[in-house]
Amino acid sequence: MLVRSLCIAVPVALLCACSAADPAAEAANVAEVSGEGGAASDSAAVLPTAAPMHQWIVGTWSFDAYCGSSDFAVVYAADGSVDNGGQEGRWTLDGDTVTETIEREIDQESGNLTTLSAPITRSYTVKRLDASHGVLHFEGNDIPILRC
């Protein structure tokens, strides 16, 4: 059923690749937040610190070119819960593979969150591009994501 397919499996034409307005400034901000202030002695010093994948993925991610432009978003919580466009459940990470087990979803007719008779399980790979950008690979499609 289309409603139960992954929210990110919308037509690829609706999705836009994202890029930072100033990657060097973004890298400097990441270094400052992580406590790595000070002058950069070489180009490696301005690159964002790479958090482990299970920490990097936690947060809200948009499938659009900017945050807040639509409902095409997924929230991975640190406690393992996920809200993927109105479908809720649990997520796990094994290497670069995310597995979602969806237990509840919004009923399209009533608008209420309902418990599914059987959970939906789906897996996809995630590739980190930088601190705020990634790509999900799901059912043969590469879908850009942007941290909100």
pLDDT higher at 91 or 7: 91
For the full predicted model, state whether its pTM sits above 0.85.
no
Cα–Cα distance between 29 and 8 in angstroms, integer? 29
* 3-state secondary structure (DSSP) of residue 95: coil
Query: Is pLDDT at 22 greater than 70 in this prediction?
Result: no
What does 15-26 look like in DSSP terms, one character per residue?
A: ------S-HHHH
Residue among 124, 104, 7, 12 at smallest CA distance from 57: 124
Q: What is the pLDDT of residues 42-87, one digit of tens each?
A: 333 333 457 899 999 999 999 887 887 666 889 999 999 999 988 9
